[in-house]
Amino acid sequence: MEFKCGYVTIIGNTNVGKSTLLNKIIGEKVAIISPKAQTSRDNTLGIYNDDNSQIIFIDTPGYHKLEHKLDSYMQENIDTAINGDVDVLLYVIDGKKPLVEQYEKLMNKGDKRSKKILVINKIDDTTFEKLYPQLNELNKVCKTDEILPISALTGKNVDVLIEMIKKYLPTYDYEMRYYPKEQFTDKNVRYLSAEIIREKILLLYNEEIPHGVAVQITQFDETSEIVKISADIYCEKESHKMIIIGKNGEAIKKLSTISRIAIEKMLDAKVYLDLFVKVKPNWRTDNLILEEFGYTNK
Ligand SMILES: Nc1nc2c(ncn2[C@@H]2O[C@H](COP(=O)(O)OP(=O)(O)OP(=O)(O)O)[C@@H](O)[C@H]2O)c(=O)[nH]1
Ligand SMILES: [Mg+2]
């Protein structure tokens, strides 16, 4: 018997589809997704299992400008995830944007010993005519072990990617799994619930609001049939609080409803969700508050 087991880190610019790819591979929603930049803040493990392998994927925050201490925390997460004992690094780029330019920003990232696969995502939303000339240019400069065009959204070539990764993982002559076969992430439902609320905030409000928002679960009571969840939504300004709540509380009602439905789907249970909006000026630059919110690597 030949068994494959190892670590794969997914890196790339913000919004290229790293978390979408992770969810597609795992077949569960382990990371939140949004059309806005800087969606993921933490590293998230997605554990892929089949009969002859276990692949531990690490989804990272996207590369972006460092403005706040929160950005430094996100950058630290990427650094940890690429410099550890990583067997394969996936460089994810957006097939709808200039390929060579995106590749060149990633080409020196990570440990020299890791194998590297350049993944060109979003090919469902571009044409061969647009891609082809760029692929020629890319081939001339690209030093990764493989290049693969995929669509994380439709799943095109995701199975090919899995088989490609397996080639580069250590081989065992016994079933080697770091995690139990039924475990598919390192995150618990409490964390995932907070993330779902943040995902819906990214969906409903303009860019400026979600980037300054943190969600804290204050109650998670699963003792009765209806799961009772309370969450504090922290924003940076009184004016943002007004926008989040909306006229006559309509905006927060909508946020609460769509968040509740998504959490119910995840938990497969009825949920009672209570949201509170609070203001903490400049929390993104305050080490103590970042720590309180769980944005710390200590
Ligand atoms: N058309 C198309 N859209 C995609 C694909 N993959 C992801 N997207 C979209 O791209 C946007 C960003 O996706 P995410 O998965 O959140 O991107 P990310 O790289 O994790 O972003 P950060 O967490 O901010 O670094 C979302 O609107 C996705 O629906 C794809 O294969 N095709
Ligand atoms: Mg992400």
Could you list the mean pLDDT of each consecutive 10-residue stretch along the chain, which spans 298 residues?
96 98 97 96 98 98 95 96 93 98 97 96 95 94 97 98 98 97 97 98 94 98 97 97 97 98 97 98 96 92
CA 138, 144, 148, 152 dihedral sign is negative
In single-letter form, the type of residue at position 209 comes to I
Q: Give the C-alpha separation, 195 to 199, whole Å.
A: 6
Say what the pLDDT of residue 1 is: 81
> Which of 13, 15, 58, 211 is the pocket-test mutation for ligand 1 (most atoms within 8 Å of CB)?
15
CA of 36 to the centre of ligand 2 (A): 10
User: Could you tell me if the CB of 14 is within 6 A of ligand 1?
Assistant: yes
Residues 6+ apart with CB under 8 A from 193: 217, 220, 229, 231, 263, 266
| Residue closest by Cα to atom 21 of ligand 1 | 15
Of 60, 67, 48, the closest CA to residue 19 belongs to 60
Between the CA of 16 and the centroid of ligand 2 the distance, in Å, is: 8
CB of 39 closer than 6 angstroms to any ligand 1 atom: yes
Confidence (pLDDT) at 207: 82
Which residue has a Cα nearest atom 32 of ligand 1?
Answer: 122
Ligand that lies nearest to the alpha carbon of residue 124, given by its number in the listed order: 1
Nearest by Cα to 43 from 25, 28, 30 = 30
Q: At what angle do helices 189-204 and 250-267 cross, to 10 degrees?
A: 140
> Does residue 125 have its Cβ closer than 6 Å to ligand 1?
yes
Measure CA 230 to chain center: 24
Q: Distance (Å, rounded) from C-alpha 237 to C-alpha 251?
A: 17
Ligand of minimum distance to the alpha carbon of 62: 1
DSSP state, 49? E
Tokens of 66: 């460092």
* Atom of ligand 1 lying closest to residue 125 CA: 1
Residue nearest to atom 16 of ligand 1 (CA): 33
Q: How far is CA 223 from the centre of its chain?
A: 30
Q: How far is the CA of 4 from the centre of ligand 1 (A)?
A: 28
Model confidence pTM above 0.95: yes
Indicate if ligand 1 lies below 6 Å from the C-beta of 198. no
Choose the residue to mutate in 24, 29, 33 for probing ligand 1, maximizing ligand atoms within 8 Å of C-beta: 33
Ligand nearest to the CA of 126: 1
| pLDDT at 175 (0 to 100) | 97
- Structural contact between residues 190 and 231, judged by C-beta atoms closer than 8 angstroms: no
- Whole-angstrom distance, CA of residue 72 vs CA of residue 242: 28
> Rounded distance, CA 102 to CA 49, Å?
31
| Cβ 278 vs Cβ 218: under 8 Å | no
Question: What's the confidence (pLDDT) of residue 297?
Answer: 87
130 burial (CB, 10 Å; 0-12 / 13-18 / 19+) is exposed
What three-state secondary structure class fits 46?
A: strand
Looking up tokens 């969600």 gives 215
CA distance 230 to 217: 6
Domains within the chain, CATH numbers bracketed: 3-172 (3.40.50.300), 189-292 (3.30.300.20)
